[in-house]
Amino acid sequence: MTRQLTPVRVNTYVDDTPLIATAEHFEEVHIKLANMMTREGGVTDWSKTHNSLLEYSKLALIDFMHRNSSKERTQLQLLQQQLEPSISTKYLGVILDQNLNWKAQQAHAVKKGMKWVTQIRRIVRPSWGITPKYTRCLYTCVALPRILYAADV
């Protein structure tokens, strides 16, 4: 008996892929990035051939520079739209800012920590709630890893 295979169509999404370019001026960098996106075999062609349509609204452009730099940050012109440079963006759970001083990441970690501590305090009460043993386990096994994610950056 011959078994007939049914064709299967799979939709996949590829996220969190950075394109990095360096140059003396941001205009040169933006030309390189636009070329990476639009050239033959580039990101746009790849997204079409792999049935993974590029979502232009999710793109972020960050021009990294020293905090004392006076270089002008310009727009990146792509075929479908123009991208304004962002001050910061989240990449794989880490907030990157244009000066790489990590203040936004630090503030985010403190905010997460306060949220977790507040929630744990809500379920720990002398008259009812979880015992100190389980509170410590919850804190060390769940809260700390969530709070300290990417803290080493």
What pLDDT is stored for residue 2 in this prediction?
A: 56
Residues in the chain: 153
Counting residues of the chain whose pLDDT is more than 90, the rounded percentage is 3
Q: Give the Cα separation of 45 and 49 in Å (integer).
A: 6
* List of residues 6+ apart from 127 with CB closer than 8 A: none
Domain ranges of the chain: 26-97, 103-147
What pLDDT is stored for residue 115 in this prediction?
A: 92
pTM to 2 decimal places: 0.67
Tell me: the pLDDT tens digits for 12-63?
A: 445 667 888 888 888 888 888 888 888 898 888 888 888 878 787 888 888 8
Q: Give the Cα separation of 61 and 64 in Å (integer).
A: 10
Q: Which residues pair with 77 in a beta bridge?
A: 82
